[in-house]
């Protein structure tokens, strides 16, 4: 198995684990942690392709990864702020109980 | 060899982060996963990204999550399940997705690709790229971070006296 | 064209205008209505004199001068219906007669109807009648003639039923109208047939009229399905109208009942003018009646004229027989009129236009005289009409008696001095010379005998002997007492001058008119034919005229003698004693008194059939036509019920079901949104998986 394939597999595994956590855990913060993991897996994907891709001099993969890190940080901040605000409102972080926006 | 170790570390950390009951423990495991990833980046030759990963993720995001945990701590430890109520269906979906991804990777043409030598990614080149080719995204990400900062502060601010 | 021919329409228009104004006047304005009527009639009389003078001036050149004035009236499609009036000798003499006699009767009516409260209405109707009759006379179009003919019938109805509160009068008016209507129906069919064959209804139209030669030739040639020539068929149908209007035998039943109207009405309409309209009609369409194909045939031997003659002769005798046994003074005169009309028809049939028309003119004068005299008698006897209750009036009403006697002798045809003799003689002479048969001559002679007999009977009953008037109490004649200042006595009295003056004038004419028709100076005959008339005593020596004169004189004297024998020798003492003839032959007398039971026969047959027919029509209307309408309406109702049920049970539920399905589907879909984030995320994951699988499967590397 080529290094690229192993990187990609690792990235896929991380993504799956992150998705599993986001979908299966009860706490809202753990959902966010799962999302962070997924983003990291995507970053790994970018870097892997940058390293083993056809045109590493263009630094495209690396740039993409840099911006992805930036965006992930911003998103984590806002998400956590939302969770804190939600906690203040409903006194719980259990997302099963936060279902008042339903049809 | 090194790669395998780092990979196992990362996966273990991620799995632990997702499955521990104690939130702080899961954050710590997440930090380990981040660190493992940073090591992988360094191994792949993306030094800047690796160090940026440690700086941002381990240094900022994980700390932020810890703060959030501390601010939203329940008084008593819950005895209910850590899994959400719809974990069966969700789990199935996750397995399916992983299966598809793995199969896609396995069957794609990337598995036959020729390995290139280590590329050069000096700071100079990165700086050049940021300032020249990727100037616009740089500025936008600056704005985005500013907005996120202001937004997060606004959202998490204590509400005024009249609304409860 | 001279002014009189162009303005001939004024003659009927003036009385019509008077009628219109009188209709708007109130019942109080008696003088206004009467003077309008008499004035308009007087003016019409003057215009008629002008017309007569004009015709006199332009005649005498061998052909009767016919002046016409036609105008288009109604357009339908590309055809025009034309109307018009004409002036020829026949028209001129009729105009003079109608306006003159009408004027005298109008003057008489002012006296007779003086204490009737509907005076104004009476004069309005009288003027309208005069207008209609004059319209009939001057019409050059069969259509215009028919329109005025119908108007004459209408005014006759109005005048017979003038005292409509009396049920007998109302019934009589209805009977008159319906009976004449039967004749008019045949008349109308004849008109339509004529129009369809000839294409025009104008009589004279520069050679294109329906009485002119070319059209007549066409009509003779066309035959109907039963082999009768079209001209004969049309002529018979038109004659049927005359039968109704002039009271010939099958349709005579209305005339005696029409005596329910006031006496001036009987005088004007049912003696002098309206009933004469039928005779006038036959005279007018005489070219059609006498049209024949061969050259050797005499004009009087066409089928149509034979029918006319026979019906006339039968009517003359039939009515005279009935008149012998009647007791109402006016009814005797009515049957006498029917009989004389039969004579006129017979005269037209055997002798031609001049013979029939001469008797019509003389009859108008003396019959009007007799009716007005009867009115005077009735008036003087305080509305008594039964001759058995009158008597001895010779003493009380001398003028009436003298004039009545003159009229009676004229009617009988007393030799030489009275006009009736000359006119009746002409008829008998022509009948005797008729090529088809001698029977009409014998019938006519028998009728003359009967005429003399019943008139003598009437005169003896009314004027001679002692007065048999019942002594009525004063209360029933209070209105009379106001007007006539009787004092205490109830005896009959002479009528006022306004009533006796016309009597005298008419009597003078009844005597003098004979002059224009004697064989020595056949002025009337020549005038109608358009030839110059010469005065020549040698006319008396022509083919058997003296013989017929002698024969008819004997007949008359025989009749008068028989009347004297039965009724004059022994004065009639009481009103209840039976008639002298009745004592002799009770069964025959009874049959005659009951008018041969004709009315009863009609009642049992035609009236009964008509009633049955009306029941059938009522049943048809009620069950069939009404039922059809019901069926349609119920069908429509059923359709609407069906539509409503469909709407309620099919469409509405279907629609409701559809809506419910949509709502349920919506509810179903709404379950996807349960507000749980992880479910949403799972959905994203599923979609991602499907997408990737699809991409892989479609071959993306």
Distance CA(C585)–CA(C587), nearest Å, equals: 6
Distance CA(C233)–CA(C554), nearest Å, equals: 40
Reply yes or no on whether the pLDDT at C158 is more than 90: yes
Which two structure tokens, joined as six digits, stand for B152? 């997060």
Give contacts of A100 with chain C, Cβ < 8 Å: 675
pLDDT, average across residues C535-559: 79
Predicted confidence at residue A61, as pLDDT, reads 86
Reply yes or no on whether the pLDDT at C465 is more than 80: no
pLDDT-derived band at C471 (thresholds 50, 70, 90) equals: low
Distance CA(C301)–CA(C307), nearest Å, equals: 10
Tell me the CA distances in angstroms from C600 to A44, C259, C347, one per residue in order.
135, 19, 31
Reply yes or no on whether the pLDDT at C492 is more than 80: no
Reply yes or no on whether the pLDDT at C130 is more than 90: yes
3-state helix, strand, coil in chain C (%, to 5): 75, 5, 25
- Helix (H) or strand (E) run with residue C503 in it: helix C497-512
Reply yes or no on whether the pLDDT at C473 is more than 50: no
Interface list for C 675-694 with B (CB within 8 A): 676, 678-679, 682, 685-686, 688-689, 692-693
Predicted confidence at residue C539, as pLDDT, reads 63
- Kindly provide the b/e burial profile for residues C71-93, where b requires at least 16 CB atoms within 10 angstroms of the residue's own CB: eeeeeeeeeebbbbbbbbbbbbb
pLDDT tens column, C608-648? 888 899 999 999 999 998 999 999 999 999 999 999 998 88
Does ipTM exceed 0.85?
Answer: yes
pLDDT, average across residues B81-104: 83
pLDDT, average across residues C100-116: 87
Shortest CA distance from A19: residue in chain C: C685
Distance CA(B98)–CA(A12), nearest Å, equals: 7
pLDDT tens column, A7-66? 999 999 999 999 998 988 888 899 999 999 999 999 999 998 888 877 777 788 889 999
Cβ partners under 8 Å of residue C656, min gap 6: none
Q: Are C596 and C256 in contact (CB under 8 A)?
A: no
Give contacts of B111 with chain C, Cβ < 8 Å: none
Tell me the CA distances in angstroms from C27 to B100, C35, C479, C526, one per residue in order.
121, 14, 19, 48
Predicted confidence at residue C477, as pLDDT, reads 43
- Rounded to two decimals, the pTM is 0.65
Tell me, letter by letter, the H, E, C secondary structure of C354-404: HHHHHHHHHHHHHHHHHHHHHHHHHHHCCCCCEHHHCCCHHHHCHHHHHHH
Are the beta carbons of C682 and B86 separated by less than 8 Å? Answer: yes
pLDDT-derived band at C470 (thresholds 50, 70, 90) equals: low
pLDDT tens column, B51-66? 999 999 999 999 999 9
Contacts 24+ apart (CB under 8 A), C167-176: C168/C260, C169/C260, C169/C261, C171/C257, C172/C254, C172/C257, C172/C258, C172/C259, C172/C260, C172/C261, C173/C258, C173/C260, C173/C261, C175/C253, C175/C254, C175/C257, C176/C254, C176/C255, C176/C257, C176/C258
Are the beta carbons of A44 and B52 separated by less than 8 Å? Answer: no
pLDDT-derived band at C489 (thresholds 50, 70, 90) equals: very low
Give contacts of C689 with chain B, Cβ < 8 Å: 93, 96-97, 100
Reply yes or no on whether the pLDDT at C322 is more than 50: yes
Residue that the structure tokens 């590493």 belong to: A56
Strands (E), chain B: none
Cβ partners under 8 Å of residue C433, min gap 6: C350, C543, C544
pLDDT, average across residues C245-250: 88
Any chain B CB within 8 A of the CB of A98?
A: no
Predicted confidence at residue B162, as pLDDT, reads 57
Tell me, letter by letter, the H, E, C secondary structure of chain A: CCHHHHHHHHHHHHHHHHHHHHHHECEHHHHHHHHHHHHHHHHHHHHHHHHHCCCHHHCHHHHHHHHHHHHHHHHHHHHHHHHHHHHHHHCCCEHHHCCCCCC
Q: Are C381 and C490 in contact (CB under 8 A)?
A: no
Reply yes or no on whether the pLDDT at C451 is more than 80: yes
Predicted confidence at residue C486, as pLDDT, reads 43
Using beta carbons and an 8 Å cutoff, which residues of B are at the interface with C? 84, 86, 89-90, 93-94, 96-97, 100-101, 103-104, 107-109
Are the beta carbons of A81 and B156 separated by less than 8 Å? Answer: yes
pLDDT tens column, C250-289? 888 888 888 888 888 888 887 778 888 999 999 998 888 8
pLDDT tens column, C551-594? 888 988 988 888 888 887 777 666 666 777 777 777 777 788 88
Q: Are C25 and C32 in contact (CB under 8 A)?
A: yes
Mutation target for B interface from C674, C693, C694, C697: give the one with most B CBs within 10 A.
C693
pLDDT tens column, B4-52? 999 999 999 999 998 888 889 999 999 999 999 999 999 988 889 999 9
Give contacts of C678 with chain A, Cβ < 8 Å: 22-24, 31, 95
Which two structure tokens, joined as six digits, stand for C412? 């009988």
Shortest CA distance from A15: residue in chain C: C685
What is the pLDDT of chain C when averaged over all its residues?
A: 84
Predicted confidence at residue C487, as pLDDT, reads 39
Better-scored residue on pLDDT, C191 or B156: C191
Cβ partners under 8 Å of residue C149, min gap 6: C132, C136, C184, C187, C241, C245, C277, C281
Predicted confidence at residue C327, as pLDDT, reads 85
According to DSSP, residue C310 is labeled: H
Tell me the CA distances in angstroms from C525 to C93, C344, C530, one per residue in order.
12, 15, 9
For the purposes of burial, counting CB atoms within 10 Å of the CB of C278, is it exposed (0-12), middle (13-18) or buried (19 or more)?
A: buried
- Partners of residue C223 on adjacent β-strands: C229
Reply yes or no on whether the pLDDT at C101 is more than 70: yes
pLDDT-derived band at C304 (thresholds 50, 70, 90) equals: confident
pLDDT, average across residues A73-88: 91
pLDDT-derived band at B110 (thresholds 50, 70, 90) equals: low
Give contacts of B38 with chain A, Cβ < 8 Å: none
pLDDT tens column, B127-163? 888 899 899 999 999 999 999 999 999 988 877 665 5
Which phi and psi angles does C74 have, rounded to 5°?
A: -135, 130
Q: Which domains, ranges and CATH numbers included, belong to chain A?
A: 3-90 (1.10.287.3510)
Which two structure tokens, joined as six digits, stand for C267? 């005088």
First to last CA, chain C: 121
Residue that the structure tokens 């499907």 belong to: C690
Are the beta carbons of A19 and C685 separated by less than 8 Å? Answer: yes
Are the beta carbons of C676 and A99 separated by less than 8 Å? Answer: yes
Residue that the structure tokens 């395998």 belong to: B4
Between C353-380 and C497-512, two packed helices, what is the crossing angle to 10 degrees?
Answer: 150
Better-scored residue on pLDDT, C250 or B112: C250
Which phi and psi angles does C79 have, rounded to 5°?
A: -95, 155
Are the beta carbons of A102 and C673 separated by less than 8 Å? Answer: yes
Say what the alpha-carbon torsion angle C504, C505, C508, C509 is, to the nearest 10 degrees. -140
């Amino acid at each position: 198995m080529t290094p690229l394939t192993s990187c990609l597999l690792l990235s896929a595994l991380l993504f799956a684990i992150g998705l599993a956590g986001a979908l299966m855990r009860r706490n809202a913060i753990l959902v966010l942690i799962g999302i962070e993991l997924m983003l990291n897996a995507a970053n790994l994907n970018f870097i892997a392709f940058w390293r083993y891709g056809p045109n590493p001099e263009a630094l495209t993969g690396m740039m993409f990864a840099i911006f992805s890190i930036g965006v992930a940080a911003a998103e984590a901040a806002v998400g956590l702020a939302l969770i804190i605000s939600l906690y203040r409102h409903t006194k719980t972080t259990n997302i099963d109980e936060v279902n008042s926006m339903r049809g | 060899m090194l790669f395998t170790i780092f990979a196992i570390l990362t996966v273990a950390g991620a799995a632990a982060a997702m499955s521990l009951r104690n939130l702080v423990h899961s954050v710590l495991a997440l930090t380990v996963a981040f660190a493992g990833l940073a090591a992988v980046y360094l191994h792949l030759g993306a030094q800047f990204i690796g160090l940026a990963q440690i700086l941002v993720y381990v240094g900022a995001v994980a700390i932020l999550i810890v703060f959030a945990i501390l601010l939203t701590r329940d008084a008593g430890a819950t005895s209910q399940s850590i899994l959400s109520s719809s974990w069966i269906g969700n789990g199935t979906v996750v397995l399916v997705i992983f299966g598809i991804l793995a199969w896609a990777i396995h069957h794609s043409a990337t598995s036959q690709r020729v390995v290139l030598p280590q590329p050069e990614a000096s700071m100079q080149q990165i700086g050049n790229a940021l300032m020249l080719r990727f100037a616009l995204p740089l500025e936008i990400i600056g704005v985005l971070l500013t907005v996120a900062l202001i937004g997060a502060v606004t959202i998490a601010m204590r509400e005024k006296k009249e609304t409860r | 064209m001279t002014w009189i021919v162009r303005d001939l329409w004024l003659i009927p228009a003036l009385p019509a205008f008077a009628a219109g104004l009188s209709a708007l006047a109130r019942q109080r304005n008696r003088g206004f209505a009467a003077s309008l009527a008499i004035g308009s009639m007087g003016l019409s009389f003057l215009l008629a004199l002008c017309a007569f003078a004009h015709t006199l001036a332009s005649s005498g050149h061998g052909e009767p001068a016919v002046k016409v004035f036609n105008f288009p009236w109604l357009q339908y499609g590309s055809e025009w219906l034309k109307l018009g009036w004409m002036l020829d000798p026949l028209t001129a003499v009729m105009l003079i007669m109608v306006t003159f006699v009408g004027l005298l009767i109008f003057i008489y009516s002012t006296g007779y109807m003086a204490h009737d409260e509907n005076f104004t209405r009476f004069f309005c109707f009288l003027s309208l009648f005069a207008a209609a009759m004059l319209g009939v006379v001057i019409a050059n179009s069969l259509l215009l003639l028919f329109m005025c003919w119908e108007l004459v019938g209408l005014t006759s109805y109005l005048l017979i039923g003038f005292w409509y509160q009396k049920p007998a009068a109302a019934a009589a008016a209805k009977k008159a109208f319906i009976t004449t209507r039967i004749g008019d129906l045949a008349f109308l069919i004849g008109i339509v047939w004529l129009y369809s064959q000839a294409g025009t209804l104008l009589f004279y139209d520069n050679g294109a009229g329906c009485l002119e030669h070319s059209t007549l030739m066409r009509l003779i040639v066309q035959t109907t399905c039963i082999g009768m020539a079209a001209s004969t068929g049309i002529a018979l149908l038109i004659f049927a109208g005359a039968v109704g209007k002039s009271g010939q035998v099958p349709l005579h039943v209305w005339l005696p009942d029409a005596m329910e109207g006031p006496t001036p009405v009987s005088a004007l309409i049912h003696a002098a003018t309206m009933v004469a309209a039928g005779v006038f009609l036959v005279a007018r369409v005489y070219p059609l009646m006498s049209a024949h194909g061969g050259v050797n045939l005499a004009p009087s031997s066409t089928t149509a004229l034979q029918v006319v003659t026979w019906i006339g002769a039968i009517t003359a005798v039939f009515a005279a027989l009935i008149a012998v046994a009647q007791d109402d003074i006016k009814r005797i005169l009515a049957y006498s009129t029917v009989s004389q009309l039969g004579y006129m028809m017979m005269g037209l049939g055997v002798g031609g236009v001049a013979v029939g028309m001469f008797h019509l003119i003389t009859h108008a004068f003396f019959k009007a005289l007799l009716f007005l005299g009867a009115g005077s008698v009735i008036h003087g006897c305080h509305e008594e009409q039964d001759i058995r209750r009158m008597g001895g009036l010779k003493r009380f009403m001398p003028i009436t008696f003298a004039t009545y006697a003159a009229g009676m002798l004229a009617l009988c045809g007393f030799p030489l001095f009275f006009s009736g003799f000359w006119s009746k003689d002409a008829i008998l002479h022509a009948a005797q010379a008729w090529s088809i048969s001698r029977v009409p001559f014998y019938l006519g002679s028998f009728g003359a005998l009967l005429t003399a007999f019943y008139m003598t009977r009437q005169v003896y009953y009314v004027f001679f002997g002692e007065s048999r008037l019942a002594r009525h109490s004063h209360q029933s004649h209070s209105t009379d007492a106001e007007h006539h200042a009787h004092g205490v006595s109830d005896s009959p009295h002479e009528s006022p001058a306004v009533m006796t003056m016309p009597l005298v004038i008419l009597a003078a004419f009844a005597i003098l008119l004979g002059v224009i028709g004697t064989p020595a100076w056949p002025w009337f005959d020549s005038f109608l034919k358009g030839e110059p008339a010469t005065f020549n005593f040698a006319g008396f020596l022509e083919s058997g005229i003296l013989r017929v004169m002698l024969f008819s004189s004997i007949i008359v004297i025989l009749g008068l003698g028989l009347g004297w024998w039965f009724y004059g020798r022994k004065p009639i003492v009481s009103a209840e004693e039976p008639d002298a003839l009745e004592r002799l032959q009770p069964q025959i007398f009874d049959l005659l008194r009951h008018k041969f039971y004709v009315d009863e026969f009609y009642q049992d047959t035609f009236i009964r059939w008509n009633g049955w027919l009306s029941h059938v029509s009522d049943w048809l209307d009620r069950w069939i036509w009404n039922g059809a309408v019901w069926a349609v309406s119920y069908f429509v109702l059923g359709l609407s019920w069906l539509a409503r049920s469909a709407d309620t049970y099919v469409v509405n539920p279907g629609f409701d079901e559809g809506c419910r399905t949509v709502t349920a589907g919506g509810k179903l879909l709404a379950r996807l949104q349960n507000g749980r984030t992880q479910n949403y995320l799972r959905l994203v994951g599923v979609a991602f998986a499907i997408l990737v699988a699809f991409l892989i499967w479609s071959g993306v590397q």
